[in-house]
Chains A and B, each alone.
Chain A
Amino acid sequence: MRRHGEYKMPGGKLTVVDLAVEHGRLVGVVVSGDFFLEPDEALAAISAALEGQAADLDELQLTHLVERATPAHTRMFGVDAQAIARAVRRAIENGPSA
């Protein structure tokens, strides 16, 4: 069952996370939104880093994980590592949806 979470950073854009939780792990993580990222490959790197992580990581741990996964010199506008971490937590906490 897929779970869906959204977070809008103050003064920023909407960050959306869709994922499933299987055996306590994040599966099929898709980070998306109407934000801006350069280079654009950064998004796939971030989603890939979240894949398979424990579903009980807290916001700070997720923030650090996203920061580490973000390629050096990536420019982010309307989104940051914490916004992505919050959207991940919200998806996990929202529980399964249709």
Chain B
Amino acid sequence: MKTQWRDHDWQLIHGQARSPALHMALDEVITDEVAAGRRAPTLRVWEWASSAVVIGRFQSLRNEVDPDGATRHGIEVVRRITGGGAMFIEPGNTITYSLSAPASLVDGLSFEQSYAFMDAWVLDALRTLGIEAWYQPLNDIASRSGKIAGAAQMRRGNAVLHHVTMAYDIDANKMLEVLRIGREKLSDKATQSAVKRVDPLRSQTGLAREAVIERMIDTFRSHHGLQADSLREGELERAQALMRQKFATPAWTALVP
């Protein structure tokens, strides 16, 4: 039976900056902890320790990433466990969060419905910042001036993982040196420019990244309830092991060559 947001005791993890590969592992570990009933549903707000390209579970490494560009800019390439498209991440330019919840929260919802449902609070937070945003199926959050964020979701056992990367600001030139797909879309005359395709929150709100994050957390708390929590020692250790065995290995990153 479908549960509602307030049926759950939501926990917030917003801790220190972590490496891209560790973030990938933390999503898996935390969602599995929720699935096992050892952790209450959790909103995790990410802080990035370094720049990264995060490719979707089913994307081709070769087709998405320019290895020379990534090396030149010191950018780590990681593959996440969810589908969707490549994200270019720079620590001060990106706002990323994950929701790990019992699958009952999205029970009976279609694919499109479950994405919009999981991010309704974010659209409300953006509205309080003066941004009229909406869900653009299948998995984008957009405003009139362009795409703001991309979401990805998957079921893991009895839990659902829903994570979103929002563009606070963007170095479009650097992005185009690192992502191949960006260049292909740029050459398409129907697409004006990558800068316009992704519209950063910074220009639309005039607020510091931290202030936008704070507003999002406040909005989640007032809508759904939220308690301060932190990563447990065991969770961090498991995530570090999983990072070494999976997410930081060339075999995983090149799983779809």
Contacts and interface: CB of A to CB of B under 8 A. Distances in A.
A30 interface: yes
A40 B58 contact: yes
A91 to B, nearest CB: 12
B63 A16 contact: yes
B59 A11 contact: no
Interface string A61-98: 00000000000000101100000000000000000000
Interface residues of B, number: 23
Interface stretch (B9-17, B65-73, B77-85, B210-218): B77-85
Contact of A13 (B57, B60, B138, B153): B138
Nearest to B60: A32
A16 B60 CA distance: 8
Interface in B199-257: 256-257
Contact of A33 (B58, B138, B153, B154): B58
B155 interface: yes
Interface residues of A, number: 19
B41 interface: no
B74 interface: no
Contact of B57 (A4, A16, A18, A40): A40
Query: Which 10 pairs across A and B sit closest by C-beta, in order of nearness?
Result: A36-B83, A32-B60, A34-B85, A77-B111, A32-B256, A34-B56, A78-B138, A43-B58, A34-B84, A32-B59
Given A13-B83, A34-B56, A36-B138, 12 more contacts: A11-B138, A16-B60, A33-B58, A34-B59, A34-B83, A34-B85, A36-B84, A36-B111, A36-B139, A38-B155, A40-B81, A77-B138
Interface of A: 4, 11-13, 16, 18, 30, 32-38, 40, 43, 75, 77-78
22 contacts: A4-B63, A11-B138, A12-B138, A13-B85, A18-B60, A18-B63, A30-B256, A32-B59, A33-B59, A34-B58, A34-B59, A34-B84, A34-B85, A34-B86, A35-B58, A36-B84, A37-B57, A38-B154, A75-B111, A77-B83, A77-B111, A78-B83
